[in-house]
Amino acid sequence: MTAWGRARSLLGGLRARLVVAFVAVAVLGAATAAWASAASASNSLVAEAQRRISDEVERRVTATAPTMPYPPDQAALDRLRTAVGGPALVTYGALRSAHGAGLDLVPPELRSATAAAHRLLVQRVESGGGPKLLVGTPVMITDLNGRRRPSGVEVYAVRDLGDVQRQVDALTANASRTSALALPVAVLLALLAARGVLRPVRDLRTAARRLAGGDLGARLRPRGSDELAELAETFNETAASLQRSVGKLARMEADARRFVADVSHELRTPLTTLTAVTEVLEAEAERMPGDARESAMLAVSETRKLAGLVEDLIEVSRFDAGTATLRRADVELRAVVRDGLRARGWLDEVELDAPDPLPAALDRRRLDVIAANLVGNALRHGAPTVVVRLRGDEEWVYLEVVDHGPGLSDEVARHVFDRFYKADAARARSEGSGLGMAITAENVALHGGAIEAGNAEGAGARFVVRLPRWAGERT
């Protein structure tokens, strides 16, 4: 796996996702709390400043208004504007008294609302010099009957909220710093939490790997009473059930193998006698009438097939029991293969492509079985010409068998070395036992080699056997 692949695996792992989720929630919670606190404090500051400024303007207007003549003149408006202080505008009809910067910020809407509302109104606005608070209030007078009514005098004051804004900015900065400081703390807490949460998961992974590797005794120690503890108990129950099932299957398989081995050996003695009888019967078949001769030859053929099946079963039982042994000896591969073909009468049907002698240290009998099974399979299921090629290098020798038949389908190529596998399932009977190719693969594996099945380009089925040329250092 590349470095990028490992990084992606780590980032996409459960630990990383837990840490990211925990950090995100923690930081989001801290940031939300900090910003909510800052927003609340900011609103309180602004509201307090607004109330304080409004009360101050209203107090000054209330203190000065009773001393004014009505209708007021310009001098009265100036006195009221001076009493209000700061940038202020006092109006009465066409009369105006104004002083200070920012009075142009008072919008017509505020003046209309102040005149119509008969009470103090405020409005916050932004300007090039910072936030401002606009205060508009009508001057009310009390008639002799005690009824209050607007006098027509309106006061507008402009107050700077720069100090309040700076306090709000400071609160915002503190909220940002609080959110930033929450990140490392959240990461640390997330790592600790992920470690605690994932420890049972890691234990489960380790136990599952042990179980997959064949350790059927792998178990977990449940801790606590949460969902992970329940998962551990479920795993233990599953592992125990699997152990019981595998043990039962192993006993059944051992019993089946022992039964096959016992039956095969028990059949060997009567088959030897039966084979001897069929040989005599075959020798006398020529002197028998037609129907009797046909029946005799059928009995001879079936007896030989049965004898071959028993021999194959005995050979398979040796592999299953682990008693099959390899007797290496110095052989010449080309001579062994040619002798096997000659003994079976196949020299005229098979083309042997072996330009050079190939000395090797192999089990002569098992090598003969490998070559004979592959060539016999090619002759039965393929088509002429069957070619046997022998090659070698310093470490390996290669035996290749190619026929010119229809070749192997993908399905057949996957199962051709399985025991009792037959490519044509519709045929109830065939010349072979269904064990020949499995025995071939077992003999190749016993040598420490490998076998492949496939198709040759421009031909049919192709089997390639690779065997180690020498068992060790030659002296």
Say how far apart CA 316 and CA 420 lie, in whole Å. Answer: 11
Higher pLDDT, 295 or 340: 340
What is the per-residue pLDDT across 177-192, written as a single tens digit (0 to 9) for each?
776 666 676 666 666 6
Say how far apart CA 322 and CA 342 lie, in whole Å. Answer: 32
Give the model's confidence band at 365: pLDDT under 50 very low, under 70 low, under 90 confident, else very high: very high
Q: What value does the mean pLDDT of the chain take?
A: 80
For tokens 């107050």, what's the residue? 159
CA distances for 206 relative to 236, 246, 293, angstroms: 13, 20, 69
Say how far apart CA 212 and CA 209 lie, in whole Å. Answer: 5
**Confidence (pLDDT) at 428:** 43
Asked if pLDDT for residue 252 goes beyond 80, the answer is: no
What is the per-residue pLDDT across 393-418, written as a single tens digit (0 to 9) for each?
999 999 999 999 999 998 888 989 99
**Confidence (pLDDT) at 454:** 93
Highest mean pLDDT among 50-54, 272-276, 423-427: 50-54
Share of the chain above pLDDT 90, in %: 21
**Residue 210 burial (C-beta neighbours within 10 Å; 0-12, 13-18, 19+):** middle
Share of the chain above pLDDT 70, in %: 81
- The 3-class secondary structure across the chain, one letter per residue, is CCHHHHHHHHHCCHHHHHHHHHHHHHHHHHHHHHHHHHHHHHHHHHHHHHHHHHHHHHHHHHHHHHHCCCCCCHHHHHHHHHHHCCCEEEEECCEEEEECCCHHHCCHHHHHHHHHHCCCEEEEEEECCEEEEEEEEEEEEECCCCCEEEEEEEEEEEEECHHHHHHHHHHHHHHHHHHHHHHHHHHHHHHHHHHHHHHHHHHHHHHHHHHHCCCCCCCCCCCCCCHHHHHHHHHHHHHHHHHHHHHHHHHHHHHHHHHHHHHHHHHHHHHHHHHHHHHHHHHHHHHCCHHHHHHHHHHHHHHHHHHHHHHHHHHHHHHHHCCCCCCCEEEEHHHHHHHHHHHCCCCCCEEEECCCCCEEEECHHHHHHHHHHHHHHHHHHCCCCEEEEEEECCCEEEEEEECCCCCCCHHHHHHCCCCCCCCCCCCCCCCCCCCHHHHHHHHHHHHCCEEEEEECCCCCEEEEEEEECCCCCCC
Would strands 386-392 and 350-353 be described as parallel, antiparallel, or unpaired? parallel
Give the model's confidence band at 20: pLDDT under 50 very low, under 70 low, under 90 confident, else very high: low
Residue 231 and residue 204 in contact, taking contact as beta carbons nearer than 8 Å: yes
Highest mean pLDDT among 158-167, 234-243, 252-261, 368-377: 368-377
What is the per-residue pLDDT across 108-153, written as a single tens digit (0 to 9) for each?
888 888 888 778 888 888 877 778 888 888 888 777 777 778 888 8
Fold classified for 228-321: Helix Hairpins (1.10.287)
**Confidence (pLDDT) at 446:** 93
Please say whether the structural domain 14-168 has been given the CATH code 3.30.450.
Answer: yes
> 385 preceded by cis ω (within 30°)?
yes
Mean pLDDT of 434-455: 92
Task: Give the CATH class of 329-468.
Answer: alpha beta
**Confidence (pLDDT) at 6:** 47
What is the per-residue pLDDT across 50-94, written as a single tens digit (0 to 9) for each?
888 888 888 888 888 888 888 888 888 888 888 888 888 888 888
**Confidence (pLDDT) at 103:** 81
- Domain locations in the chain? 14-168, 228-321, 329-468
**Confidence (pLDDT) at 16:** 65
Higher pLDDT, 431 or 393: 393
**Confidence (pLDDT) at 9:** 44
**Confidence (pLDDT) at 7:** 45
Asked if pLDDT for residue 4 goes beyond 50, the answer is: no
What is the per-residue pLDDT across 313-330, written as a single tens digit (0 to 9) for each?
777 777 877 888 899 999
